[in-house]
A = this chain, B = another copy of it.
Amino acid sequence: MTTEKIDNISVTTQANVYFDGKCVSHGITFADGTKKSVGVVLPSTLTFNTGAPEIMECVAGACEYKLAGSDAWVRSSPGEKFSVPGNSSFDIRVGEAYHYICHFG
Protein backbone atom coordinates (compact mmCIF):
# COMPACT_ATOMS: atom_id res chain seq x y z
CA MET A 1 0.00 0.00 0.00
CA THR A 2 1.40 3.38 -0.96
CA THR A 3 1.44 6.33 1.43
CA GLU A 4 -0.05 9.10 -0.71
CA LYS A 5 -0.27 11.75 1.98
CA ILE A 6 0.79 12.37 5.56
CA ASP A 7 -1.57 14.23 7.88
CA ASN A 8 -1.10 16.53 10.86
CA ILE A 9 2.48 17.51 10.27
CA SER A 10 4.54 20.68 10.00
CA VAL A 11 6.61 21.24 6.88
CA THR A 12 9.88 23.16 6.70
CA THR A 13 9.39 25.53 3.80
CA GLN A 14 13.02 25.61 2.63
CA ALA A 15 13.86 22.55 0.56
CA ASN A 16 16.97 20.41 0.99
CA VAL A 17 18.82 20.33 -2.31
CA TYR A 18 21.46 17.63 -2.81
CA PHE A 19 23.70 16.75 -5.76
CA ASP A 20 22.92 19.91 -7.73
CA GLY A 21 19.20 19.23 -7.48
CA LYS A 22 19.25 15.54 -8.39
CA CYS A 23 17.65 15.03 -4.97
CA VAL A 24 15.22 17.52 -3.44
CA SER A 25 13.38 16.98 -0.17
CA HIS A 26 11.27 18.84 2.37
CA GLY A 27 11.53 18.10 6.08
CA ILE A 28 8.36 17.30 8.00
CA THR A 29 7.78 17.12 11.75
CA PHE A 30 5.05 15.19 13.57
CA ALA A 31 3.22 16.40 16.67
CA ASP A 32 5.42 14.13 18.84
CA GLY A 33 8.57 15.71 17.39
CA THR A 34 9.42 12.84 15.03
CA LYS A 35 11.17 14.10 11.91
CA LYS A 36 10.97 12.60 8.43
CA SER A 37 11.37 13.93 4.93
CA VAL A 38 9.52 13.64 1.64
CA GLY A 39 11.60 13.89 -1.49
CA VAL A 40 12.41 12.87 -5.00
CA VAL A 41 15.53 11.57 -6.72
CA LEU A 42 15.71 12.48 -10.41
CA PRO A 43 17.47 10.38 -13.08
CA SER A 44 20.99 9.80 -11.83
CA THR A 45 23.27 7.39 -9.98
CA LEU A 46 24.21 8.76 -6.57
CA THR A 47 25.82 7.70 -3.30
CA PHE A 48 24.14 8.78 -0.07
CA ASN A 49 25.81 8.67 3.31
CA THR A 50 23.72 8.08 6.41
CA GLY A 51 24.16 9.49 9.89
CA ALA A 52 21.18 7.99 11.65
CA PRO A 53 19.73 4.75 10.29
CA GLU A 54 17.15 5.39 7.57
CA ILE A 55 14.17 3.59 6.13
CA MET A 56 13.43 4.64 2.57
CA GLU A 57 9.81 4.14 1.52
CA CYS A 58 8.94 4.42 -2.17
CA VAL A 59 5.70 6.31 -2.86
CA ALA A 60 5.94 6.67 -6.66
CA GLY A 61 8.38 5.85 -9.43
CA ALA A 62 11.14 3.38 -8.65
CA CYS A 63 14.85 3.02 -7.99
CA GLU A 64 17.53 0.40 -7.67
CA TYR A 65 19.72 0.55 -4.60
CA LYS A 66 22.89 -1.15 -3.41
CA LEU A 67 23.85 -1.10 0.24
CA ALA A 68 27.46 -0.60 1.33
CA GLY A 69 29.26 -3.95 1.28
CA SER A 70 26.77 -5.52 -1.12
CA ASP A 71 27.20 -6.21 -4.82
CA ALA A 72 23.49 -6.60 -5.46
CA TRP A 73 21.33 -3.92 -7.01
CA VAL A 74 17.78 -4.32 -5.67
CA ARG A 75 14.70 -2.69 -7.14
CA SER A 76 12.33 -0.71 -4.91
CA SER A 77 8.84 0.19 -6.14
CA PRO A 78 5.82 2.01 -4.68
CA GLY A 79 4.83 0.60 -1.30
CA GLU A 80 8.23 -1.02 -0.75
CA LYS A 81 10.82 0.01 1.83
CA PHE A 82 14.47 -0.64 2.42
CA SER A 83 16.60 -0.04 5.51
CA VAL A 84 20.03 1.54 5.63
CA PRO A 85 22.23 1.27 8.74
CA GLY A 86 23.53 4.40 10.45
CA ASN A 87 26.99 5.70 9.56
CA SER A 88 26.87 3.78 6.31
CA SER A 89 26.04 4.51 2.71
CA PHE A 90 24.04 3.28 -0.24
CA ASP A 91 24.14 3.76 -3.98
CA ILE A 92 20.94 4.55 -5.79
CA ARG A 93 20.21 4.63 -9.50
CA VAL A 94 17.06 6.14 -10.90
CA GLY A 95 15.79 6.00 -14.47
CA GLU A 96 12.79 8.32 -14.29
CA ALA A 97 12.10 9.50 -10.77
CA TYR A 98 12.00 7.94 -7.32
CA HIS A 99 9.60 9.59 -4.88
CA TYR A 100 10.16 8.66 -1.26
CA ILE A 101 9.52 9.16 2.41
CA CYS A 102 12.68 8.98 4.51
CA HIS A 103 12.08 7.69 8.05
CA PHE A 104 14.93 8.17 10.49
CA GLY A 105 16.09 6.13 13.44
Seen from chain A, the residues whose Cβ lies within 8 Å of a Cβ on chain B are: 3-15, 17, 20-22, 24, 26, 28-29, 38-40, 42, 59-60, 97, 99, 101
Contacts and interface: CB of A to CB of B under 8 A. Distances in A.
Given A21-B22, A21-B42, A13 B4 contact: yes
Nearest to A100: B13
A6 B11 contact: yes
What DSSP secondary structure best describes chain A's contact surface?
strand
21 contacts: A4-B12, A5-B10, A5-B12, A6-B10, A6-B13, A8-B10, A9-B9, A9-B11, A11-B38, A13-B38, A13-B59, A13-B60, A13-B99, A14-B40, A14-B59, A15-B39, A17-B97, A21-B21, A21-B24, A21-B42, A26-B26
